[in-house]
């Protein structure tokens, strides 16, 4: 029987929301095995003056739990 676990992360980028999502996935992949996919839950931005200074992408990453 397979069990899928999830974790939520927020990626941050100065380039865009897609880059922020990629950064969250890259960070998760450093410590998780068996990543199955992720859902984008929310996107937001930090504004300084009239410019976007940071893009934030909230993702829920799914990975398979491995039993020995």
* Residue 46: Cβ within 10 Å count: 12
Give the helix/strand (H/E) hosting 32: none
**Domain span holding position 58:** 3-65
> Using CA atoms, how far apart are residues 35 and 62, in angstroms rounded to an integer?
6
CATH of the domain at 11: 3.30.1660.10
For 18-43, write each residue's pLDDT tens digit. 999 999 999 999 999 999 999 999 99
Number of domains in the chain: 1
Distances (CA, A) of 40 to 22, 24, 37, 62, 67: 11, 11, 10, 11, 28
pLDDT of residue 15: 97
Is pLDDT at 46 greater than 80 in this prediction?
A: yes
pLDDT at 60: 98
Give 47-56 pLDDT, tens digit per residue.
Answer: 999 999 999 9
What pLDDT was estimated at residue 2? Answer: 82
Phi, psi of 52 (to 5 degrees): -75, 125
């Amino acid at each position: 029987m397979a069990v899928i676990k999830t974790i939520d992360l927020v990626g941050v980028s100065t380039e865009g929301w897609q880059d922020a999502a990629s950064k969250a996935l890259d960070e998760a992949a450093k410590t998780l095995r068996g990543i199955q996919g992720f859902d984008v839950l929310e996107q937001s931005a930090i504004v300084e003056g009239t410019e976007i200074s940071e893009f934030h992408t909230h993702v829920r990453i799914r990975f398979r739990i491995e039993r020995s």
